[in-house]
């Protein structure tokens, strides 16, 4: 299975059946016992579902549309990545050193989220993206990110993704788990496709969820500054200088569209995926747009 490939020297292990980078697994007690605070905001998603986009929207709303302030630091320093473990420090260390109110980021599936987030009833924004586009984006991300396993060929990766043996686990389990949890916890569940279709409406939802009331012109400014073109040219959101990412292989911000899967999936893959998808999604009210 390509996930175990060691071409990039990325070691993978498991926590409760979910594949995670080995350093995360080795530090699992520290991650699991992280102490959230009641005023923490958590941005959660499956990898490559619109996380950075949502982070920038949130940051601009929190800063009342102040563009300069939102460019004070790269996005990964503004919002510690909870479970990420680096050589020097970890997301947990960064979060613990950060004054409140904190905004944090995670890709953890619902069952692996540190329980203190539920106990403290922290607000959580979850963003989901249709499975096919998500798979394509994740594939290209794994080709360029030195911190993730080598994905192998597209055909190999297709099988790996379908089996759920990718980092952070099965897409199906992830989106369904968080969808179910929103009935019992303050979770704003966003869809990448809806954000593409009507960004102002979705940004307004985030604003209201955060208890803010911004003027229309400020919202328009946020819409403009969180467009794909602007964010791609913003070094504070596009990880240009990140040593873990090789933009020559594939840019971190690649296309930012809905329906790109059509350029990648073969007819046979699409047929197989649709059959598998129906089985996995039979037990949920959750539905997605695969094109706009």
Residues carrying an active site annotation: 107
Distances (CA, A) of 11 to 3, 14, 151, 167, 223: 9, 10, 13, 11, 39
Residues 160 and 96: beta-carbon distance below 8 Å = no
Residues 289 and 133: beta-carbon distance below 8 Å = no
- Rounded to whole angstroms, how far apart are CA atoms 86 and 190? 29
Residue corresponding to tokens 């539905």: 287
Nearest 5°: the CA angle 148, 234, 68 is 125
- Rounded to whole angstroms, how far apart are CA atoms 93 and 168? 21
Nearest 5°: the CA angle 110, 113, 118 is 90
3-state secondary structure 12-57: EEEECCEEEEHHHHHCHHHHHCCCCCCCCEEEEECCCCCHHHHHHH
């Amino acid at each position: 299975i390509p996930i175990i490939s060691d071409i990039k020297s990325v070691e993978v292990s498991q926590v409760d059946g979910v594949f995670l980078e080995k350093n995360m697994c080795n530090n699992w007690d520290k991650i699991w016992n992280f102490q959230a605070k009641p005023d923490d905001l958590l941005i959660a998603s499956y990898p490559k579902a619109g996380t950075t986009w949502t982070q920038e929207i949130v940051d601009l709303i929190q800063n009342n549309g102040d563009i300069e302030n939102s460019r004070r630091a790269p996005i990964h320093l503004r919002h510690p990545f909870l479970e990420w473990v680096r050589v020097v420090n970890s997301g947990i260390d960064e979060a613990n050193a950060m004054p409140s109110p904190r905004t944090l980021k995670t890709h953890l599936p619902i069952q692996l989220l540190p329980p203190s987030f539920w106990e403290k009833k922290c607000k959580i924004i979850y963003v989901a993206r249709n499975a096919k586009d998500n798979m394509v984006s994740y594939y290209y991300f794994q080709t360029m990110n030195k911190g993730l396993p080598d994905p192998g060929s597209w055909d190999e990766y297709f099988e790996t993704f379908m089996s759920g043996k990718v980092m952070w686990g099965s897409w199906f389990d992830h989106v369904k788990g968080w969808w179910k949890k929103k009935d019992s916890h303050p979770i704003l569940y966003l869809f990448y496709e809806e954000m593409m279709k009507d960004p102002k409406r979705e940004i307004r939802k985030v604003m209201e969820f955060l208890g803010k009331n911004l003027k229309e012109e400020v919202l328009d400014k946020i819409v403009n500054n969180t467009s794909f073109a602007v964010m791609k040219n913003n070094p504070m959101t596009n990880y240009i200088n990140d040593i873990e990412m090789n933009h020559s292989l594939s840019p971190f911000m690649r296309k930012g569209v809905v329906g790109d899967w059509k350029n990648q999936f073969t007819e046979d893959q699409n047929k197989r995926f649709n059959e598998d998808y129906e089985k996995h999604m039979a037990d949920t009210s959750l539905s997605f747009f695969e094109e706009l």
